[in-house]
Amino acid sequence: MIFVMLLRLLKKGAEADIYLTIWNDRKSILKIRKRKEYRNEILDNRIRTLRTVREAKMMSEVKTFGVSTPIVFFVDQNKFKIYLQFIPGMLVRDLPNKLIINTCEKIGKIVGTLHKNGIMHGDLTTSNFILGSDELIILDFGLAQRTEKIEDHAIDLRLFKEVLNSAHVEIVNQAWLSFLRGYGKIVGASRKEKIISQVLVIEKRGRYANVV
Ligand SMILES: Nc1ncnc2c1ncn2[C@@H]1O[C@H](COP(=O)(O)OP(=O)(O)O)[C@@H](O)[C@H]1O
Ligand SMILES: [Mg+2]
């Protein structure tokens, strides 16, 4: 019998390594959370287990309210591994500018739906969305949290705005407005305004912290 182990490293991240592999005849992504040498080993194991389990749980849970995420094939929490359905497509980060602007409205709708259902993503970047053949898929739920608080939801928006500002500076304004349009369609105008005010509060605080 010939046994071929298919494993191709796609990305070495700060927190996890990402491999392309096969799971039960299906193309799969294997995400392994790595040891951080500077962290105490027991604490480090606890953090990696928590994030692995949280990611798998959240990815499955958000499907129940209509947010598209990869199917979780298998979780090995003792080895900090998750096998996910491989999603073909392009990262939103790598799309042409015009398409990024359009897609930001869809991102806004997805984020609005998460927030409306009491979930904060915790790491909203344009590398955590894949534009597939007919839908937009959101990834990377290791830092997601259950919270209804305006302050927490505003942290999600603030991070996404920062990402647009640094990775997509030529289109930041249009992309941000597009995002807010989508977000508002889901959470409603009044909630949207409250969150935006909170984002401004966080930004002011940030600037003040830079001065002193
Ligand atoms: N299910 C998937 N299908 C296709 N590509 C994926 C999938 N999961 C992750 N990736 C790719 O790997 C990258 C990193 O994965 P991610 O879960 O965001 O981990 P990290 O914590 O390193 O950001 C993504 O930006 C994407 O390019
Ligand atoms: Mg990511």
Token look-up 């990696």 returns 48
C-alpha–C-alpha distance, residues 92 and 124, integer Å: 12
Residue from 157, 165, 145, 162 nearest 192 by CA: 157
Tell me the C-alpha distance between 73 and 71, whole Å: 6
Residue 24: the pLDDT is 96
Q: Which atom of ligand 1 has the smallest separation from the CA of 16?
A: 22
pLDDT of residue 211: 62
**Ligand 1 center to residue 82 CA distance, Å?**
11
Among 137, 140, 143, 159, which is best to mutate for testing ligand 1, by the most ligand atoms less than 8 A from CB? Answer: 140
Tell me which residue of 124, 103, 86 sits closest to 178, measured CA to CA: 103
Residue to mutate (ligand 1; options 8, 23, 28, 29; most atoms within 8 A of CB) = 29
The pLDDT of residue 208: 77
Which residue in 76, 123, 140, 156 is the catalytic one?
A: 123
Instruction: Using alpha carbons, select from 22, 18, 20 the residue that is nearest to residue 31.
Output: 18
Structural domains of the chain, ranges and CATH numbers in brackets: 7-85 (3.30.200.20), 90-211 (1.10.510.10)
> Residue 107 Cα, ligand 1 centroid: separation in angstroms?
16
Name 7's bridge partners: 21
Report pLDDT for 161.
98
Q: What does the block give as tokens for 153?
A: 């939801």
3-state SS class at 164: helix
123 a catalytic residue: yes
Q: Tell me: the pLDDT tens digits for 51-104?
A: 999 999 999 999 999 999 999 999 999 999 999 999 999 999 999 999 999 999
Q: Parallel, antiparallel, or unpaired for β 16-23 and 26-33?
A: antiparallel
**What spacing in Å lies between the alpha carbon of 174 and ligand 2's midpoint?**
23
Beta bridge partners of residue 29, listed in sequence order? 20, 84
Return the pLDDT at 165: 97
Q: What is the pLDDT of residue 14?
A: 85
* DSSP strands (E only) in the chain: 7-12, 16-23, 26-33, 72-76, 81-85, 90-91, 119-120, 129-131, 136-138, 145-146
Question: Is the Cβ–Cβ distance between 118 and 107 less than 8 Å?
Answer: no
- pLDDT tens series, the chain, 212 aa: 555 568 999 999 889 999 999 999 999 999 999 999 999 999 999 999 999 999 999 999 999 999 999 999 999 999 999 999 999 999 999 999 999 999 999 999 999 999 999 999 999 999 999 999 989 999 999 999 999 999 999 999 999 999 999 999 999 999 999 999 999 999 999 999 999 999 999 999 987 776 65
Beta sheet of 16-23, edge-to-edge order: 7-12, 16-23, 26-33, 81-85, 72-76
| CA 45 – ligand 2 centroid, Å | 20
Close Cβ partners of 113 (under 8 Å, ≥ 6 residues apart) = 65, 66, 67, 186
Q: How many residues does the structure list for the chain?
A: 212
